[in-house]
Amino acid sequence: MRVADRALYEDFVVARSDRLLRTAYLLTRDWGVAEDLLQESLAKAWFAWPGVEEPEAYVRRVLVTTYTSWWRRRWRREVPRDDFPDMPAPEGSGDLAEREALWRAVGRLPTRQRAVVVLRFYEDLPVAEVARLMDCETGTVKSQTAKALAKLRVDDSVVKELYR
């Protein structure tokens, strides 16, 4: 790799890592696993870097396909626990509780449905871009979105949390 390509890669990593890490976290719901996922995705991008035309789209696609392949292999990493003592919730934390309930429900979705929800609604990508990133048809993205939203609507814990 030429020095100029290396400098462009390093600039890209510095500029886009936070956003890509956020996407990885939303897919995995675990900061440690998200960091591993991003690191592996950036390493894969390094080897293809001289031929990459749209760096962020390319790395995002690598991120999604790597995440999907991890779950296909049923690979599980250690699960760190963050046990904190019970503390009273601060005033106005109802919104936080609702968001947490929603993200727990998103975390229970199958891998592809979770990826579609994150890319469509959190990253605000159009259907065609999500289909390109996930290497599938737009109809698949639409059907996976519909199935995911239907599951979220009937998820008992979300309904109970939102309406208690």
Q: What is the DSSP track for the chain?
A: --HHHHHHHHHHHHHHHHHHHHHHHHHHS-HHHHHHHHHHHHHHHHHHGGG-SSHHHHHHHHHHHHHHHHHHTT-------------PPPTTTHHHHHHHHHHHHHHTS-HHHHHHHIIIIIS---HHHHHHHHTS-HHHHHHHHHHHHHHHHH-HHHHHHHT-
Q: What would the mean pLDDT of 46-69 be, rounded to a whole number? A: 89
Which has more pLDDT, 118 or 79? 118
Tens digits of residue pLDDT in 17-56: 999 999 999 998 889 989 999 999 999 998 888 888 899 9
Predicted structure pTM score: 0.56
